[in-house]
């Protein structure tokens, strides 16, 4: 695999990742970034807590709560790495609930030749792709398409095994930001699992990213998702850092 240690620190990688998965609205709070997107995904609807908010932490917590409350969203903060511990303690003191750890994995791009699985790449997600992506096991809300396509260089991968109306066998999303490929939304329909389709879409996205000058790959995976973690470990990706969300009490 060659050199596998990421050239970016936690804050810089998280800021880069925000450009690959944007909300429909953003606002700064000092060096923190408030992001709103109709409630679809934590990444598009949370305050990215990196750096200095410019006000004392209890005031920053109140400002985050106010911003999301004004938009009808449950206030949420994303807290990456060790440097967010002081802020995490401030959110905890205000009664915000902690979600599970999410791992951010990175590695050098290693594009392999096509292995015979035809992977379609499109700049827009069609209805079949949107039906194939299950976010936390649920169908997508109407706001999803705008979030998914809100990036400068994005692609949607799909594998079809059976003709419509059968569902797509696998889908995934890729985005290139600077010289990084971000991979997300890797979903394999249950009946098509254990056929190497996740590996095939990952490889297709790496070839696509390499063609656009990417040298590094990042993705996020829930700590509880053991099968995905095993897949990415086999692909040579290593843990860069972890983050978790905190949600304001109902």
Mean pLDDT by 10 residues, the chain (250 residues): 70 97 96 96 97 98 98 97 97 98 96 88 96 81 92 97 94 97 95 93 97 97 94 93 96
pLDDT at position 142 is 85
Identify the three-state secondary structure at position 108: strand
Identify the three-state secondary structure at position 128: helix
pLDDT at position 136 is 66
Cα–Cα dist 79/242, whole Å: 9
pLDDT at position 4 is 57
CATH superfamily of 110-214: Gcn5-related N-acetyltransferase (GNAT) (3.40.630.30)
For CATH 3.40.630.30, list the domain ranges present in the chain.
Answer: 110-214
Output the pTM of the full model.
Answer: 0.94
**Backbone dihedral angles phi then psi of residue 24, each to the nearest 5 degrees:** -85, -10
pLDDT at position 205 is 98
Q: CA-CA-CA-CA torsion for 63, 68, 72, 73, nearest 10 degrees?
A: -140
pLDDT at position 116 is 86
Q: Which residues pair with 155 in a beta bridge?
A: 174
pLDDT at position 250 is 86
Cα–Cα dist 241/221, whole Å: 11
Q: Which residue has the tokens 């190497």?
A: 196
Cα–Cα dist 112/179, whole Å: 18
């Amino acid at each position: 695999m060659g050199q596998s240690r990421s050239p970016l620190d936690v804050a810089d990688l998280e800021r880069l990742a925000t450009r690959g998965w944007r909300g429909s609205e953003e606002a700064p709070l000092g060096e923190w970034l408030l992001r709103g997107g109709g409630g679809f995904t934590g990444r598009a609807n949370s305050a990215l807590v990196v750096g200095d908010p410019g006000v004392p932490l209890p005031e920053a917590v109140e400002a985050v709560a106010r911003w999301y409350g004004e938009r009808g969203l449950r206030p949420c903060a994303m807290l990456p790495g060790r440097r967010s511990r002081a802020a995490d303690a401030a959110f905890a003191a205000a009664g915000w609930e902690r979600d599970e750890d999410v791992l951010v994995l990175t590695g050098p791009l290693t594009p392999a030749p096509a292995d015979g699985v035809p992977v379609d790449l499109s700049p827009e997600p069609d209805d079949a792709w949107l039906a194939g992506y299950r976010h936390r096991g649920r169908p997508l809300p109407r706001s999803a398409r705008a979030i998914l396509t809100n990036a400068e260089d994005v692609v949607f991968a799909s594998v079809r095994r059976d003709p419509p109306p059968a569902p797509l066998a696998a889908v995934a999303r890729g985005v290139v930001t600077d010289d990084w490929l971000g991979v997300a939304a890797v979903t394999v329909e249950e009946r098509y699992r254990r056929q190497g389709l996740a590996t095939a879409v990952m490889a297709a996205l790496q070839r696509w990213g390499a063609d656009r000058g990417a040298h590094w790959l990042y993705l996020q995976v829930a700590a509880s998702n053991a099968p995905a973690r095993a897949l990415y470990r086999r692909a040579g990706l290593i843990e860069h850092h972890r983050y978790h969300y905190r949600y304001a009490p109902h």
